């Protein structure tokens, strides 16, 4: 009966296809399914059309009109109809500003889209690193739970023989229950992260997936010149670019509001009369209020830009120290892993010679050392990925 049950379970496991995913595949799928990206792409299309329309300001507009008139002298009613075509040939300052403002709005959307792509890559790298660390953590907790259970089970046997107290048994049982809870938490975190990956990629949540391990390389030595990287961040950061363009938009609006005389030339072709029309405003009582209103928004954008630049300087100036710390943790993790490997070899030989029985502890310590090494490597990867993202580089360029 046991053999039949085992064969049945094996048949179920082999019947379900496992989807193997790497970061680039998830990114490719996410691009097709990410609603925020789709929304921004539609906005860019609309802004492209608006920019084209701003350049074609001269396109004519056709008006049709009709009137019903009563002639007091002739005591009769007459009707009149007209068809008029009006084309704005030029509007001083306003024409150029309209085109420039439309172009800036389009460029802002393009920069936002590029940053969204980088943010998506960064999020995928974070999910992959979290999943691998949680999977390894579950392995460690499974081994620790097994050790705790053996100790608890032996204590129960010794209690039945009168060699252990109830206090000792309960203490070891509580430790076993604690390790079991930690295992279930690690499994929950791992499975939840897999669900996030599937949701991001637009994959059915019931699909069984497996994530490839992340392989990355640190940047070339010349990139480790953090002063150059800081200059690149201040030059290429998307947030700063967007703030600069927002300030330019307000400057264009202010320039337009300050312009009092703005001659407008229209071409009019009508059933009644045709020719060129020239008109201009000569006074606007609300002009001062408009200028103050726009200046307030411009100053607000300038303050936001200064705050953003200061925070980016802070990040870039602290980056060398964070890098040195992460590198030190990586070297420490390598040392611990080598010691754990040597200790496991020693304990395994002692176990085979029946000189000691703590092989399980050595195996658990080795797994934990491997987890710490993995975590140290992934923290270093995410450190560079975040720096690359704010410097306008693709985080995926770190992958081997």
The whole-number average pLDDT for the span 122-133 is: 96
Strand partners, 264: 91, 279
pLDDT of the residue at 15: 53
pLDDT of the residue at 5: 44
The whole-number average pLDDT for the span 246-256 is: 90
The whole-number average pLDDT for the span 221-246 is: 87
Residues 191-225 pLDDT 10s: 999 999 999 998 999 999 999 998 887 776 545 67
The whole-number average pLDDT for the span 123-147 is: 95
Q: How far apart are CA 142 and CA 130, in angstroms?
A: 18
Residue 171 Cα distances to 10, 141, 183, 196, angstroms: 38, 18, 19, 38
Name the token pair of 396.
Answer: 């995926």
Task: State the Cα torsion 110-114-115-116 to the nearest 10°.
Answer: 100
pLDDT of the residue at 256: 81
Mean pLDDT, all residues of the chain: 85
Q: How far apart are CA 284 and CA 293, in angstroms?
A: 15
Residue 159 Cα distances to 147, 151, 171, 172, angstroms: 18, 12, 13, 12
Please determine, for residue 115, whether its predicted confidence score (pLDDT) is greater than 70: yes
Residue 346 Cα distances to 140, 317, 335, 341, 357, angstroms: 20, 45, 17, 9, 12
What is the pTM (predicted TM-score) of this model? 0.82
Please determine, for residue 183, whether its predicted confidence score (pLDDT) is greater than 90: yes
Element containing residue 225 per DSSP (H, E): none
pLDDT of the residue at 2: 42
Q: What is the DSSP string of 247-276?
A: HHHHHHHHHHHH-----EEEEEEESS-EEE
Q: Which of the following CATH numbers is that of domain 17-393: 1.20.810.10, 2.40.10.120, 1.20.1600.10, 1.10.490.10? A: 1.20.1600.10
Residues 351-394 pLDDT 10s: 665 544 568 888 999 999 999 999 999 999 999 999 999 999 99
The whole-number average pLDDT for the span 44-66 is: 74
Q: What is the DSSP string of 164-186?
A: S-HHHHHHHHHHHHHHHHHHHHH
Which of the two residues, 302 and 56, has the higher pLDDT score?
A: 302
Residue 321 Cα distances to 317, 372, 375, angstroms: 8, 20, 19
The whole-number average pLDDT for the span 173-202 is: 96
Q: Which of 43-52, 214-223, 281-290, 300-309 has the highest mean pLDDT?
A: 300-309
Which of the two residues, 92 and 36, has the higher pLDDT score?
A: 36
Q: Name the nearest CA neighbour of 245 among 389, 101, 53, 117.
A: 101
Q: Distance between alpha carbon 181 and the CA centroid of its chain, in Å?
A: 32
Q: Name the nearest CA neighbour of 339 among 372, 365, 310.
A: 365
The whole-number average pLDDT for the span 277-296 is: 79
């Amino acid at each position: 009966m046991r053999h039949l049950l085992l064969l049945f379970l094996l048949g179920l496991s082999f019947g379900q296809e496992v989807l193997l995913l790497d970061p680039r595949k998830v990114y490719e799928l996410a691009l097709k399914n990410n609603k925020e990206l789709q929304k921004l792409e539609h906005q860019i299309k609309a802004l492209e059309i608006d920019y084209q329309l701003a350049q074609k300001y001269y396109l004519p507009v056709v008006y049709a009109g009709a009137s019903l008139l009563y002639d007091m002298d002739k005591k009769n009613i007459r009707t009149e109809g007209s068809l008029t075509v009006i084309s704005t040939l030029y509007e001083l300052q306003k024409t150029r500003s309209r085109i420039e403002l439309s172009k800036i709005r389009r460029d802002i959307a393009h920069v936002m889209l590029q940053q969204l792509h980088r943010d998506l890559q960064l999020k995928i790298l974070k999910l992959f690193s979290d999943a691998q660390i949680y999977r390894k953590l579950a392995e460690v907790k499974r081994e620790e739970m097994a050790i705790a259970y053996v100790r608890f089970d032996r204590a129960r046997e010794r209690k039945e023989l009168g060699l252990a107290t109830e206090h000792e048994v309960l203490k070891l049982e509580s430790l076993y229950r604690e390790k079991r809870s930690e295992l279930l938490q690690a499994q929950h975190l791992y499975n939840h992260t897999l669900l996030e990956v599937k949701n991001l990629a637009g994959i059915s949540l019931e699909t069984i997936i497996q994530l490839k391990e992340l392989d990355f390389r640190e940047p070339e030595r010349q990139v480790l010149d953090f002063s150059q990287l800081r200059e690149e961040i201040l030059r290429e950061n998307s947030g700063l670019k967007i703030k600069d363009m927002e300030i330019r938009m307000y400057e264009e609006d202010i320039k337009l509001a300050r312009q009092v005389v703005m001659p407008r030339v229209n071409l009019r072709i009508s059933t009644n009369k045709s020719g060129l029309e020239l008109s201009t405003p000569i006074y606007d009582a609300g002009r001062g209020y408009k200028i103050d209103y726009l200046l307030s928004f411009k100053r607000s954008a300038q303050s936001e830009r200064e705050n953003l630049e200061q925070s980016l300087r802070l990040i870039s100036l602290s980056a060398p120290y964070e890098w040195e710390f992460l590198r030190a943790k990586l070297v420490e993790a390598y040392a611990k892993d080598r010691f754990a490997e040597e200790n496991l070899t020693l304990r395994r030989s002692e176990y085979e010679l029946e000189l000691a029985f703590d092989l399980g502890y050595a195996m658990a310590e080795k797994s934990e050392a491997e987890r710490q090494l993995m975590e140290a490597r992934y923290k270093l990867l995410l450190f560079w990925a975040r720096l690359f993202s704010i410097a306008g580089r693709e985080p995926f360029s770190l992958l081997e």
